Structure 1
Amino acid sequence: MDIVYYILCGLLAYLVGSINPSLILSNSLMSKDIRKYGSGNAGTTNMLRVFGWQFALVTFLCDVLKGCIAVALSRHFCGDTAGFIASIAVVIGHNWPVYYGFRGGKGVATTFGVLIIWQPALTFAVFAVAIGIVALTRMVSLAAMSGAVLSLVAVMIFYPGEAYLMQRIAIGILAVFVVFQHRANIKRIIAGKENKISFKSSTVIMKEMPKGDTNQK
């Protein structure tokens, strides 16, 4: 019977993850698909570049919240195993949403929400490090990948016991997702061409991507 609950938790978490606030906000309030502007990514950073910090903040908080809710409810009602399944499923939903042609975001904020439920103190410590990386490099992508990998390393160091095995596996999978979704960013970082955010300019970018370009960047 447990397998039924696990499948149900995974499915519901995926559907919750598939709800993309950046697409809802850009389409309903601005009548524009965020995936056609800026970097083409349906996430917080591109919302900041294209529509400004207010839209970016709402997007970030909603993405974090859906990660928290999916894992917390699954864990509360069906146990830790269901929580681990929901952790993976909600991020898969965000990255490859059924509602939007399987073209979503990169899963960073949703992963952050997931990690808050499992390791809140560690997660906020890593978040502080990521903020520092952004301040130093102005590259959100580098901070996101560094944070994901650092979270995995920290859990492996501070929680090495068998009791935390599933947690380490889940966080490892999420770290792989984050790095994989930033593969184009990695190429640009290596080439020295990665986009950087500006702390001085509040200019909103409204540059539409070329038609037919559906690759996440």
Structure 2
Amino acid sequence: MINLALILILSYLVGAIPTAIIASRILIHDDIRKYGSHNAGATNVFRVLGWKPALVVLLIDMGKGALATLVIARMHIEPIPINPQLISLLAGFFAIIGHVWTVFAGFKGGKGVGTAFGVCLGILPLPTLFAFGTWLLCMLLTRIVSLSSIISALAFPVLVWIQKSVLHRDTPDFLFWMSVGLGVFIVFTHRSNLKRLFRGEEKPLKFRKGAEK
């Protein structure tokens, strides 16, 4: 079990790399959390620094999740008597936890959506791609990133269930329950956004560059 502990710790540390904060330190020599929505995520980087840095941040955040599930989870010094998919799932979960509560930035990171996408793409590619399609459709209709993320996160377990029960593709029960838990987790990380949504104060994404204090 020492091997498993090392996998989870390394996954957390990789997930905890504060990509958005690093980008803002390089580009404006300041902490992205002082601007815009005060969140260390790709959406706030888009609002403050523009689409190019945001795209880089998003891809790296996704890569952190994929790295945990596809590479770190398979770095076994000795055999681990656990389902390999479950090991990948646990590694991915710890990467998401690291992104949201990063030890490198006072445990105040991003919302976890990009990293979760990378994790899920490595474990459940088909439902993940359809969830992305859901996100994209919501974005086209509303231009509100948080709402699109919440809806796609809630749609994800439904899509996993369809893969398992309708398409009859090999999908262990724990992956379905993971998708449920992940949906709840993403809603939890967006709780401040939900409050603004209910008050009608959540801002749609504007496709222009400009720092927001």
For normalisation by structure 1, the TM-score amounts to 0.88
The Cα of 1:163 is off from its aligned counterpart by 5.1
Residue 5 of structure 2 aligns with an amino acid whose one-letter code is: I
Matched, 1:182 2:187: no
Q: Which of residues 90, 95, 114 in structure 2 aligns to 1:85?
A: 90
Contact 1:75/1:81 (<8 A) preserved: no
Q: Which of residues 32, 46, 67 in structure 2 aligns to 1:69?
A: 67
Contact 1:64/1:109 (<8 A) preserved: yes
The Cα of 1:73 is off from its aligned counterpart by 1.4
Partner residue of 1:57?
55
> Hey, what's the Cα distance between the residues in 1 that align with 2:154 and 2:3?
30
Secondary structure of 2:109's partner?
Answer: coil
Q: In the TM superposition, what are the counterparts of 1:97-116 in structure 2 within 5 Å?
A: 97-116=102-121
The Cα of 1:67 is off from its aligned counterpart by 0.4
1:96-139 per-position Cα deviation (integer Å, ceiling 9, x unaligned):
00111100000000000001001212211221221110110111
> Hey, what's the Cα distance between the residues in 2 that align with 1:155 and 1:6?
26
Partner residue of 2:100?
95
The Cα of 1:173 is off from its aligned counterpart by 2.3
Identity %: 38
Contact 1:88/1:170 (<8 A) preserved: no
Partner residue of 1:205?
211
> Hey, what's the Cα distance between the residues in 1 that align with 2:26 and 2:175?
37
> Hey, what's the Cα distance between the residues in 2 that align with 1:111 and 1:77?
20
> Hey, what's the Cα distance between the residues in 2 that align with 1:177 and 1:76?
25
1:4-52 per-position Cα deviation (integer Å, ceiling 9, x unaligned):
2221111111000000210111112320100010000000110000000
Secondary structure of 1:159's partner?
Answer: helix
Q: Which runs of 5+ in 2 are unaligned?
A: 77-83
Partner residue of 2:14?
16
Q: Which runs of 5+ in 1 are unaligned?
A: 208-217
> Hey, what's the Cα distance between the residues in 2 that align with 1:72 and 1:140?
27
The Cα of 1:152 is off from its aligned counterpart by 1.3
Segment of structure 1 superposing worse, 101-110 or 72-81? 72-81
> Hey, what's the Cα distance between the residues in 1 that align with 2:34 and 2:177?
35
Residue 171 of structure 1 aligns with an amino acid whose one-letter code is: S
RMSD between aligned residues: 1.6
> Hey, what's the Cα distance between the residues in 1 that align with 2:162 and 2:20?
35
